[in-house]
Chain A
């Protein structure tokens, strides 16, 4: 029976969607400088592991964010967007501040707060250029839609 799974996948069109939409409204006006490429640095300040799974799915063939010119980078010094995962714990506040200091201008910060009412947690520090705040665990297509909105990239029709 397992040999029919690819056909099932093709029928469902798991990789290709006509449009990636995000329901989040951007808080700031965006510039057009990121149209061709957007580099994202991810910092996990205290999420449950669920958000990391969603992010890793973005790089997988199913979503393949590279085709839109969106890349994940290993250093905040190369990043245009800082993606902050989770509700911060106390020990991550200083590293988060240091990371924001390292970002080159212009940049945006996004928060995805998967557990706003976490016990023993602290508030976010002041985030400059905080363009979007998500709560819960969004699906990869929602995150991709948000990134595309920020970059003002034209969506490809499948």
Chain B
């Protein structure tokens, strides 16, 4: 296993070194991901120390791999493999050196995070991942300001983690994860805040609105799926170890639920093709955060009867993580494929992928969007059912406040799932299966893209039908039973005494069987179909006269105008409706303030007068000198 791990690291490094040959570099990152995947598979059964290096007396850099790491490495590596395959084809369209360099090294950073067993290694991995993701974002060379915002949020999370680990060291005297048992409330808040920021939970999502339209495809997918996965991993790692605090758990649950609601709400209104999945990431990560918070609350309460519920919440969070990572990677890849083929930016312009671009990306969009809309028997259905079942068992808590806050979170998440289905219909109905207006896409190299898309599509479908297998694989076989005619491990039970059960396997089998008859009937009496344009008095419809995606969202934007700040914009020739995300205002205000301060400072200091410049250098020199004296 050590050999595979070292091989993965070496492959990523050599991929980075060979970044001038983009395709070869991506090939190396693919091989590195395969190697990481195999490492995870071998590590499922046993905990192993991969590397350990004593840095100071009580500080040891160490790389461990245990069951949780193994699960997350496998999930992340599948996403990495798909993305690397996709990028090999994509690099023909976009042959910049910076992208494969950033790609390889951020994968390396993530691998370090997933195996780190102490604060310093984790922070090293964290910084490598953030900085090289930032490098990738600058690949287009036109979105500097927005990518700096991403870096600012990334560094905010690093600072939060840094202070958290410093606090841990000052109280316990160790940076190892084993020392977290003795950590204080302060450590808990800072560390989990660091991870929450990386998960793009709501007040920390200000950077994404401007940037998702401009960055390269593989970067968008990387930022949305594996990078946020690291935040989830961090939380899943530290929350069970640190001493529990009920207030913080409730805050996490409500923050996650609100984030889910807000992500769904904004996703329902956007018309940019990349921004919709980005907001859906906020929604999904919010749901995952709620599941983790619920686990901490139920497990930390110490009540024996809640242990099953806590286990169920943990399983729910991991199933949601699997569903989100696979579906989001697939969604970004398929959308990126369509977007590159059409060379457009909005949902309306990218209509008709099925007939205009190809069947496989269209199926990719449909399957991932259905998975996010909780369509049985896909894996997203299982995950979202599990979280709702968990939250609606809040009556099992003895305290009214706990029961009320969990039920409130349940309501918000149910709303979020509804809103996200509303949003995903736009992707299915317009982008994937819409009318293509006779547009034809430009030919792009797509063989490996297709392989990556097909493999993730089948994983999402099989993951839903084979849910019992996944539940066993992530280590919760006690949640599976049998009921009535359904044999033993096929039913997933949400509570003891019984609360609710599902069996996606059974639903899948029934759907396939019931589907065969109509399909056979359809094939037998196949009717001739003539396709004509919509009737418009004999006059050809203009593109703008079709029912557009903004028109579809308009009813929601009007009803919820308090949330959206819906305004009508009128000009002489046309009028439109604009909506805003009011929760990015704080980060916008900070950005403005920083820019204004910078401008003023530069105006004072660098005003072209040599005397001012000399004075500035003199003051700096004296300050450094004094600080040096003091430190000594």
Contact = CB atoms under 8 A, between A and B. Distances in A.
A43 to B, nearest CB: 7
B538 A75 contact: no
Interface residues of A, number: 11
A102 B535 CA distance: 8
A96 B535 contact: no
Contacts of B533: 98
A94 B535 contact: no
Contacts of B540: 94, 98
A99 interface: yes
B435 to A, nearest CB: 16
Nearest to B537: A95
A108 to B, nearest CB: 17
B544 interface: no
Contacts of A77: 535
A76 interface: yes
Interface in B437-454: none
A33 interface: no
Interface string B527-553: 000001101011110000000000000
Contact of B532 (A94, A95, A96, A101): A101
Nearest to A104: B530
Contacts of B538: 43, 94-96, 98-99
A98 B534 CA distance: 10
A76 B535 contact: yes
A95 B532 CA distance: 13
A101 B537 CA distance: 12
A75 B537 CA distance: 8
A51 B390 CA distance: 72
Nearest to B536: A98
Interface string B370-393: 000000000000000000000000
A94 B537 CA distance: 11
Interface in A70-109: 75-77, 94-96, 98-99, 101-102
B539 A102 contact: no
Contacts of B532: 101-102
Interface string B500-543: 00000000000000000000000000000000110101111000
Contacts of A102: 532, 535
A46 to B, nearest CB: 13
B537 to A, nearest CB: 7
A79 to B, nearest CB: 11
B542 to A, nearest CB: 14
Nearest to A77: B535
A76 B539 CA distance: 13
A109 to B, nearest CB: 14
B375 to A, nearest CB: 32
A36 B533 CA distance: 30
Which one of A43, A95, A98 has the highest number of Cβ atoms from chain B below 10 Å of its Cβ? A98
A51 to B, nearest CB: 18
B399 to A, nearest CB: 63
B539 A75 contact: no
A102 B531 CA distance: 9
Nearest to B528: A105
A95 B540 CA distance: 8
Nearest to A100: B538
Contacts of A101: 532
A138 B165 CA distance: 96
A66 B228 CA distance: 68
Nearest to B533: A98
Interface string A127-139: 0000000000000
A95 B535 contact: no
Contacts of B535: 75-77, 102
A71 B538 CA distance: 20
Nearest to A76: B535
B528 to A, nearest CB: 9
Contacts of A94: 538, 540
Interface in A48-69: none
Which one of B533, B537, B540 has the highest number of Cβ atoms from chain A below 10 Å of its Cβ? B537
A77 B530 CA distance: 12
A76 B536 CA distance: 11
A104 to B, nearest CB: 9
Interface in B527-581: 532-533, 535, 537-540
B534 to A, nearest CB: 10
Nearest to B539: A95
A24 B562 CA distance: 67
B353 to A, nearest CB: 25
A95 B595 CA distance: 57
Which one of B535, B538, B539, B540 has the highest number of Cβ atoms from chain A below 10 Å of its Cβ? B538
Nearest to A101: B532
A76 B534 CA distance: 11
Contacts of A75: 535
Contacts of A98: 533, 538-540
Nearest to A92: B538
A94 B593 CA distance: 59
B84 to A, nearest CB: 48
Nearest to A96: B538
A110 B540 CA distance: 24
A101 B539 CA distance: 12
A94 B535 CA distance: 13
Interface in B73-124: none
A75 B538 CA distance: 10
Which one of A43, A77, A94, A102 has the highest number of Cβ atoms from chain B below 10 Å of its Cβ? A102
B318 to A, nearest CB: 52
Contacts of B537: 95
A20 B452 CA distance: 71
Nearest to B538: A95
Which 5 A-B residue pairs are closest in the complex by CB-CB distance?
A95-B538, A98-B538, A99-B538, A101-B532, A102-B532
Given A94-B538, A98-B533, A101-B532, 6 more contacts: A75-B535, A77-B535, A95-B537, A99-B538, A102-B532, A102-B535
17 contacts: A43-B538, A75-B535, A76-B535, A77-B535, A94-B538, A94-B540, A95-B537, A95-B538, A95-B539, A96-B538, A98-B533, A98-B539, A98-B540, A99-B538, A101-B532, A102-B532, A102-B535
